[in-house]
Amino acid sequence: MADSSLPRAVFLDALSLGPVDLAPLEQWCALTAWPSTAIGERLERLRDAEIAITNKIPLDGELLRQLPKLRLICVAATGTDQIDHAACQELGIRVHNAGRYSRASVVQITWALILELCCAMDQRRRDLAAGSWQRSPVFSVIEPEFDELEGQTLVVLGAGDIGRGVLAIGEAFGMHCIGLTSRSSSAELEAALRQADVLSLHAPLTPQTQHLINAQRLSWMKPTARLVNMARGALVQLEDLCAALRSGQLAGAALDVLPVEPPGSELDALLITPNLLISPHMGWSSRQARSRLVQTMAGHLQAYVSAEAASA
């Protein structure tokens, strides 16, 4: 039986975390976990909640003003762009995200994508399956050719905790590494993009960073350069990126995020865009990262319960 003294919490989209044990949360709240929640179901499900837990379900001001019992929002992710922060401040609702939980996972998948773009291992596997090595007149198959990363320039836009992890691996490869933040000047960004052999995006989505990578900024990059986006889909103007890839203005790109997720029929066109790799927003989701995410949220709940008890 649930402890009636514990605050009532509602997890709106627990299915988004995949198979993970939510028991650490239940130590600190009376938890109702819905697999997913439609926009029209939010109000009814949160009506009596003191705590809302959401991964990607938006919580806007109009909704929040109808939830007088709500005191805490736990975001089951790093980014909080789905939360109306101004309304939360107005209403005295605390917001906590789960920073740092996915660092190792995202860094690992970032480099998996960079290496795939640069080394084309999946293309080699397909060529071998088609008999390329068996037909070779010599012991090795060299095509498609690849270049070493050592000596190339890696630019990380969003050099926070995850970005610094990406830069550290670049340094281990012997790359020249440049870290920028979303507050870097336009002149700094242009200078870095003109040098970049690999551009890796890890910045938060804000009004200032939406479509930060667009036709103009892609035109600054070398035709041999490659781009990876592990942050938010809307950082990149997707139509401009596809045009750059089709024209050969950019050598390749890998996207773990898209502007609309899950995507609809527009994914079909993306999948046939030359030199574009798509992965299904999975960079954050190692088993270990998802477990750390739950533990991080449990810590926020514990702190909230302890503070409420102290003030009672």
Residues 181-229 have pLDDT tens digits of: 988 999 999 999 999 999 999 998 888 999 999 999 999 999 999 999 9
**Confidence class of residue 147 from pLDDT cuts 50, 70 and 90?**
very high
Q: What percentage of the chain exceeds 70 in pLDDT?
A: 98
- In terms of phi and psi (left: phi > 0; alpha: psi -120 to 50; beta: otherwise), the region of 195 is alpha
- From CA 81, how far away is CA 72, in angstroms rounded? 16
* DSSP label of 68: T
**pTM for the structure as a whole:** 0.90
Residue 2 has pLDDT above 70, yes or no: no
CB 78 within 8 A of CB 104: no
The answer to which of 3-17, 162-176, 215-229, 231-245 has the lowest mean pLDDT is: 3-17
| Structural tokens at position 189 | 């960004």
Tell me the domain boundaries of the chain.
8-101+287-311, 103-278
Residue 120 has pLDDT above 90, yes or no: yes
Q: Per-residue pLDDT averaged across 105-129, rounded? A: 96
- In terms of phi and psi (left: phi > 0; alpha: psi -120 to 50; beta: otherwise), the region of 133 is alpha
Helix, strand or coil for residue 276?
Answer: strand
Residue 4 has pLDDT above 80, yes or no: no
Residue 235 has pLDDT above 90, yes or no: yes
The answer to which of 75-84, 171-180, 291-300 has the lowest mean pLDDT is: 75-84
- From CA 9, how far away is CA 252, in angstroms rounded? 44
Give how far Cα 39 sits from Cα of 22, 50, 63, Å.
23, 19, 10
- From CA 137, how far away is CA 124, in angstroms rounded? 17
Q: Which pLDDT does position 108 carry in this prediction?
A: 98
Q: Which pLDDT does position 1 carry in this prediction?
A: 37
Q: Which pLDDT does position 193 carry in this prediction?
A: 98
Q: Which pLDDT does position 5 carry in this prediction?
A: 84
Domains 8-101+287-311 and 103-278 share a fold: yes
Residue 312 has pLDDT above 90, yes or no: no
Q: Which pLDDT does position 309 carry in this prediction?
A: 85
- From CA 68, how far away is CA 64, in angstroms rounded? 8
Q: Per-residue pLDDT averaged across 137-159, rounded? A: 95
Q: Per-residue pLDDT averaged across 109-133, rounded? A: 96
| Structural tokens at position 106 | 């995202």
Q: What CATH number was assigned to the domain covering residues 103-278?
A: 3.40.50.720
Q: Per-residue pLDDT averaged across 304-308, rounded? A: 93
- From CA 51, how far away is CA 54, in angstroms rounded? 10
β-sheet bridge partners, residue 278: 255
Q: What CATH number was assigned to the domain covering residues 8-101+287-311?
A: 3.40.50.720
Better-predicted residue by pLDDT, 288 or 79: 288
Hey, which residues are catalytic here? 232, 261, 281
